Each structure stands twice: as C-alpha cells, then as structure tokens.
C-alpha cells in the first residue's frame, strides 16, 4: 500500500515506533513504503547529528512532522530550572534545523519531596513565558502533551487536555498549543469537549495514535499498543479532531518492546495496514 493512496496520505511514522531502525534505515524504509512523513526524537537525532539528519531526510524527500521532546520544566532549584530552559532552547533550535514547526513538550513530574501539583503547573507556565517568544522567532510552535494521570508524579503534571489548554491559552495560538495523543486521552469523557475547545482556538498542533492495552507492563512506559490491539476507538477520536478543524499529519507513536524486536519493514507494513483498518 502506498502513501499516495488517500487513506495513507496523512500518516506520519514516529521513529520510536520502529526504534530498532537507525535514521538511515528509517529514511530508506519510509521511502520504500511510500510514507512521506516522520516524527523524530532528540536523542537519536543528536547521536546522528542534527544537520546530518536534516540533510538525510531532505534528500529522501521526507517531512519532519514533530520533534520530541522538550519540557521537564517543573524543577524548584534555580540552577536546575535554568538548565532546563537552556535545554529547551536547544530543542527549539534543533526543531528549526529539522524544518519542523512543532516541538512536543512533556511538562515534567513533581520535584522530589513535593506534592504541589498546582505549583508545578505554574512553573511550567513561567517557563513557557520565556520559551514561547524564543520559539516563535525560530518558527517553532510549542505543543503541550498531556499524559495519562499514571505519569503525573514522575513525568507529567499535565494530565488532561483541559489542563494543557489552561496553560496554552495564556499564550498566542501560533506559539503554544496541545498534542492530542489517543493513548493519553481516550479514557477522558471530557476529551471531546476539550478537543473542540482546542480546535476553536487553533491549538491542535499534533495528533498521535497508539492503543491502550492491558495488562500494563512493569514500568508502564512501554505499554503503548499497536493500533487495533486495545481499547481505543481511533475513528471516533479522529472524527472529533477533524471536526475541530485539524487536517494535519497523524503520527503513529508506539513504545513497545515486542514491536522493537521484530523486522522493521514488517512493522511498518503492519502500521500502515492497521492505520487504514482502524483509523480511516
């Protein structure tokens, strides 16, 4: 199946879905499969070289739909906060160098010993006030990704689209928006209204797909499932996102050791088939 076919025309492959591939393998595999868009992660890009990655993907005719991730902005220590801001400026620069307009932000969890969720979210807002203008000058939008509440303590104090929008709406829509990730929002009966709210404000900057499968693995982080293997109604969520005005790329982003142990080309073919079967 080729990406020029209408059902696949909006599919973007997030590189973590096929983590076993190097960046050259990712470029070659996507070109062979007719997939024209990719989402990238900072660590492998830095290891390969940011400028080198940009040239590789440009030469392959691939568009970078997002870079993940910035964020982790909840520290209390002034030195740690300054270091986090510096790292996020570097992430913005990397996104600009890769010609993507979207940097995904994961806010960060509670600092050690803290139980103050409100204060942590306010420190995220303070950081956004410094980072958003810088990102705008570089042509990059900041996309706040709410994570499922099970990650609130250690990874992300922003757990719902409502909380993400409460932060984003303090800034211009062209500077700060949100990520709608099915894995993180499928359970929330308020999500449809918040998707509509985000769309009305022009704040849906990224739409990502992964399924929710149980039992969750130890550590839970690698529990994202292949489309169709779990509980998420992808067609319903896609319909809500598109009714809200989003017509951009749709990233499949799956962290799953079983997929990583398989042949990458086989996984990509399955991703494309499942995307059409469950999300179109």
Q: How far apart are CA 254 and CA 19, in angstroms?
A: 9
Q: What local confidence, expressed as pLDDT, does residue 31 receive?
A: 97
- For the stretch 235-278, pLDDT in tens is 999 999 999 999 999 999 999 999 999 999 999 999 999 999 99
- Is the predicted pLDDT of residue 4 greater than 80, yes or no? no
Omega cis (within 30) before 206? no
> What mean pLDDT value characterizes the chain?
96
DSSP 8-state secondary structure symbol assigned to residue 119: H
- For the stretch 102-135, pLDDT in tens is 999 999 999 999 999 999 999 999 999 999 999 9
Q: How far apart are CA 80 and CA 6, in angstroms?
A: 47
Q: What local confidence, expressed as pLDDT, does residue 34 receive?
A: 94
Q: 218 falls in which pLDDT band (50, 70, 90)?
A: confident
Lowest mean pLDDT, pick from 54-68, 179-193, 209-223 = 209-223
194 in Cβ contact with 207 (< 8 Å): no
- For the stretch 34-44, pLDDT in tens is 999 999 999 99
Residues contacting 45, CB < 8 A, separation 6+: 23, 53, 67, 94, 98
In order, the DSSP letters of 16-83 are GGGTTS-HHHHHHHHHHHT--EEEEEHHHHHHH-HHHHHHHHHHHTPEEEEEEEEE-----SHHHHHH
């Amino acid at each position: 199946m080729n990406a020029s076919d209408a059902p696949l025309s909006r599919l973007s492959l997030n590189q973590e879905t096929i983590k076993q591939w190097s960046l050259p393998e990712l470029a070659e595999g996507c070109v062979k499969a007719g997939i024209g868009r990719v989402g990238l992660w900072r660590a492998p890009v830095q290891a390969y070289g940011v400028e080198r990655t940009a040239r590789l993907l440009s030469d392959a005719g691939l568009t970078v739909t997002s870079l993940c991730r910035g964020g982790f902005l909840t520290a209390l220590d002034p030195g740690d906060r300054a270091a986090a801001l510096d790292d996020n400026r570097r992430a913005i620069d990397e996104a600009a160098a890769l010609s993507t307009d979207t940097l995904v932000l994961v806010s960060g969890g509670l600092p050690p010993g803290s139980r103050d969720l409100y204060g942590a979210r306010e420190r995220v807002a303070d950081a956004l006030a410094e980072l958003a203008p810088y990102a705008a000058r570089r042509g990059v939008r900041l996309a706040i990704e709410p994570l499922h509440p099970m990650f609130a303590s250690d990874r992300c104090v922003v757990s719902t689209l409502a909380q993400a929008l409460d932060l984003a709406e303090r800034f211009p829509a062209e500077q700060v928006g949100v990520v709608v990730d099915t894995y993180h929002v499928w359970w929330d009966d308020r999500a449809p209204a918040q998707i509509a709210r985000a769309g009305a404000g022009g704040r849906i900057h990224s739409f990502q797909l992964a399924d929710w499968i149980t039992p969750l693995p130890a550590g839970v982080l690698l529990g994202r499932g292949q489309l169709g293997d779990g509980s998420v109604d992808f067609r319903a969520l896609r319909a809500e996102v598109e009714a809200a005005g989003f017509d951009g790329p749709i990233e499949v982003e799956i962290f799953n050791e079983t997929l990583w142990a398989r042949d990458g080309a086989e996984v990509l073919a399955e991703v494309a088939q499942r995307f059409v079967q469950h999300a179109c």
